[in-house]
Structure 1
Amino acid sequence: MISLQCLNRVGRKMLTVGISGVTCGGKSSIASLLKSTFPRAKFICQDDFYFSCGDSKSQKLDSVGHPNWDSLESIDMISMTRKVQEIIDDVSNEKLPTQNLLIIDGFLIFNYPPLAQLCDLKYFLTLPFEECLARRRKRTSYNIPDQPSYFSDVAWPMYLLHLKEMQKLSFANEIQYLDGTASLHENFERILKDIETYFDGVLKRF
């Protein structure tokens, strides 16, 4: 359910929805459905802000020989946050309320407070280890395929670490958890209902 804190912000010119969570939990699929539902929505994906393999800022893993893709240090969070802020600022001069929506998709967007605090609605998808591993093994869209032990040695431990850190942050109570084993439609409808509730509140104030 949409938080009262978010409803108190009704009247802002841009609604930002952050969709985060475990790898293969359904983040991108939900974001895609939202983009189809709201064709005018803006979209930011954290994957587009990874540092290149040769960049000195990317964190290396000696065991696999390539960057730790599950580390916050492997992502240019400053540039990502700046881009989100630019999109929000672009609609700040609009005189009439419209359904301006920004969808932010990324597995670590809530572990970087400057970005997390720009998200009005925050959702986090979870999966148990075995289900997550099974889905990861079926996925073939990675530019660099996983090394045999990458998921169990790196991806899953980093997920648990980031989850623990996220739950200690000051805004942790704003995060709504979604069960990634539930149907994609069910989780999508949950988020869609909150978005519609927010936009209904905007119109009632004008």
Structure 2
Amino acid sequence: MREDWIVVALAGVTNSGKTTVTKKLHSIIPNSECIFQDLYFRDPNDPNHKYVEDLKHNNWELLTAINTDKMWTDIEEILRRPRIDPSKKNVLLIDGFLVLNFLKTVELCDLKYYLRLSKEVTWERRQTRSYDPPDVPGYFEQIVWPEHLKSFQQMLEMNKCVVLIHGTCPVQFTTERILQDIECRL
């Protein structure tokens, strides 16, 4: 039941460390569950995708690229579970680059964090990762960064209280910062 849960959103630009911090928090908080938005990307042939003709590639940076219905169903299923420890609330960690752009998660979350990076650092980090499907030449400049700027502005408009954290901060610092806030609500 919802009152048994503290719901925490960890959003941010691609490669900002969201998943690393989420997994670290999950390993520390025994009564926690995780939802990773990246697990809800639609199939490449799904008609909901916006196809970018110039690049001959889907735009994977939009909310329409994510099966939000399935993600929301899974969130609701988790929130129906009772407390693991009767003396403490459970913690649901929701990780994803657009979780604070999806109205249902915006309204649900008790704590909201957004990890930021400069364009240069984002580009450097993105070069070290593999994507399926892989980025095509020009995808970062034409799609990833411009869509990030749009979604960041939209996120600020949709959320009244978000803690902005620089993604170059050490993982331990970011984890401890968020953990302190969670512990205050347990």
Q: TM-score, normalised by structure 2?
A: 0.92
The answer to whether the aligner puts 1:184 opposite 2:171 as a matched pair is yes
Greater C-alpha radius of gyration = 1
Give me the whole-angstrom Cα distance separating, in 1, the residues matched to 2:173 and 2:77: 32
Map residues 144-183 of structure 1 onto 2, 5 A cutoff.
144-169=133-158, 172-183=159-170
Residues 61-113 of structure 1, C-alpha deviations (whole Å, 9 max, x = no match):
11232321101111111221222122112228x89443411111100001111
The answer to whether the aligner puts 1:49 opposite 2:40 as a matched pair is yes
Larger mean Cα displacement after TM superposition, 155-164 or 32-41: 32-41
SS of residue in 2 equivalent to 1:158: helix
**Equivalent residue for 2:70?**
79
Runs of 4+ in structure 1 off by over 3 angstroms are 94-97
Aligned AA (1:137): Q
**In the alignment, is the contact (CA less than 8 A) between 2:165 and 2:174 conserved in 1?**
yes
SS of residue in 2 equivalent to 1:64: coil
Partner residue of 2:59 out of 50, 68, 72: 68
**Contiguous gaps of at least 5 residues in structure 2:** none
SS of residue in 2 equivalent to 1:19: strand
Deviation at 1:125, TM superposition (A): 0.4
Give me the whole-angstrom Cα distance separating, in 1, the residues matched to 2:60 and 2:85: 42
Aligned AA (1:49): Y
**Equivalent residue for 1:8?**
none
Give me the whole-angstrom Cα distance separating, in 2, the residues matched to 1:90 and 1:32: 20
Give me the whole-angstrom Cα distance separating, in 2, the residues matched to 1:95 and 1:76: 32
**In the alignment, is the contact (CA less than 8 A) between 1:13 and 1:97 conserved in 2?**
no
Aligned AA (1:134): E
Percent of paired sites with the same residue = 32
**Contiguous gaps of at least 5 residues in structure 1:** 1-10, 200-206
Alpha carbon RMSD of aligned pairs, Å? 1.8
Give me the whole-angstrom Cα distance separating, in 1, the residues matched to 2:54 and 2:150: 19
